[in-house]
Amino acid sequence: MKILIVEDEPELSGSIASYLQHEQYRCETVLDFPEAKNKIIDFQYDCVIVDVGLPGGNGLELIKLIKSMKRNDGIIVISANSGLNDKLMGLNLGADDYLAKPFHLSELSARLNSVIRRRNFQGSSTFNFNELQVNIDDKTVLVHSKPLSLNKKELDLLLFLVANKNRVISKSAISEHLSQDESGYYRGYDVVYAHMKNLKKKLAEAGSKDYIKTIYGVGYKFECYEAAG
């Protein structure tokens, strides 16, 4: 999987590349508009992560370029401008997703997974691990082949954990992920605790093993080392 990261802040693009390399992505980073343009014209990527504010041009122009070349690269827009404009313009131009800075790398990684999965029509949108089966596209969960009833937030939480399986996800990232469709207020971790408790309880009651490990109060990890799905 080849990813192009177009971000003028080397520290940030370095972090992104470093995080994504663990997920078996091959990342290239470019720091300005002209260089990004050349890369996009010369090579094909599975996904391009593009910052809107770039030296030498607007990142949105790169989306237009990719679209004009009738290419199938996935596109994720990242922007420091959290206003609706960048988001709407980016998505209207054909970007697959949008993230406002600052974002958690686990969130970016989850979005990237989903963009690539959708782009490649891989069909394998099911995560199987021992007794647990998670159908990512139709959002159903089966334990021992029996459907498990989860509410929207619990399902969201499980999908997020699965998307970042075998890596620690911070409470901070989970809290943000769960409240992304809510406006406004700073809510703290109560939501995370409550949903995590319920999810674990429901999984346990259905006969699933406890794969969700608490990591020193800083986050959680979905562990599935033996036979990665």
Partner 1 sequence: MKLLDKTVRNLLGYAVVVLLISIPVFYFIIEELYYQDVDDALRLKKKELIIRTHSLKNEHDMRLWLGMDQEVRMYPLPKGDVSGDTIYPKLYLDTLDKEMEPYRELRTTLTINDKTYLTTIRRSLVESQDLIVGIAEAQAILLILLFGGWIIINRQTSRRIWLPFERIIEWLKDYEMGKNPQSGIPSSGISEFDTLNEVVNDLIQKNHGIFTQQKNFIENASHEMQTPVAILQSKLDLLVVSEGLTAEQARYIQSQYEAIERLNHLNKSLLLLSQIENHQFEETSSVSVENLTNKILGHLEEAIHDKQISVNTVITVDKILQGNPMLIEICLSNLLSNAVNHTPEKGTIEIILDENILRIRNSGQPLGFSEKVLFTRFGKDKASKHGVGLGLAIVRQITDLMKLSVDYTYIADNHQFTIRF
- Pick between residue 18 and residue 44 the one whose CB is nearest to partner 1: 18
Residue 217 binds partner 1 (CB under 8 A): yes
Q: With respect to partner 1, which residue has the nearer C-beta, 204 or 218?
A: 218
Q: Does 83 bind partner 1 (CB under 8 A)?
A: yes
Please say which residue, 66 or 108, places its beta carbon nearer to partner 1: 108
Give, rounded to a whole angstrom, the gap between the first and last alpha carbons of the chain: 17
When binding is defined by CB under 8 A, the residue of 60, 105, 112, 143 that contacts partner 1 is 105
The rounded distance, in Å, linking the Cα atoms of 109 and 163 is 8
Single-letter residue type at 227: A
Q: Examine residue 104 and tell whether it contacts partner 1 (CB under 8 A).
A: yes
- Smallest gap, in angstroms, from Cβ of residue 195 to partner 1? 7
H/E/C letters for each residue in the chain? CEEEEECCCHHHHHHHHHHHHCCCCEEEEECCHHHHHHHHHHCCCCEEEEECEECCEEHHHHHHHHHHCCCCCEEEEEECCCCHHHHHHHHHCCCCEEEECCCCHHHHHHHHHHHHHHHHCCCCCEEEECCEEEECCCCEEEECCEEECCCHHHHHHHHHHHHCCCCEEEHHHHHHHHCCCCCCCCCCCHHHHHHHHHHHHHHHHCCCCCCEEEECCCEEEECCCCCCC
Q: Based on the shown chain and the rule CB under 8 A, indicate whether residue 35 belongs to the binding site for partner 1.
A: no
92 binds partner 1 (CB under 8 A): no
Q: Give which of 102, 100, 104 is closest to 77, Cα–Cα.
A: 100
Quick one: 66 or 155, whose CB is closer to partner 1? 155
* Contacting range for partner 1; rule: CB under 8 A; set: 27-35, 54-62, 126-134, 190-198: 190-198
55 interacts with partner 1 by CB under 8 A: no
Between 101 and 118, name the residue whose CB sits nearer to partner 1. 101
Select the residue interacting with partner 1 from 24, 122, 123, 216 (CB under 8 A). Answer: 216
Cβ 75 to partner 1 shortest distance, Å: 19
Instruction: Give the residue with the Cβ less far from partner 1, 131 or 176.
Output: 176
Q: Is 225 in the site for partner 1 (CB under 8 A)?
A: no
Q: Where do contacts with partner 1 occur on this chain (CB under 8 A)? A: 9, 11-12, 15-16, 18-19, 22, 80-84, 100-106, 167-168, 170-173, 175, 179, 182-188, 190-191, 194-195, 215-219
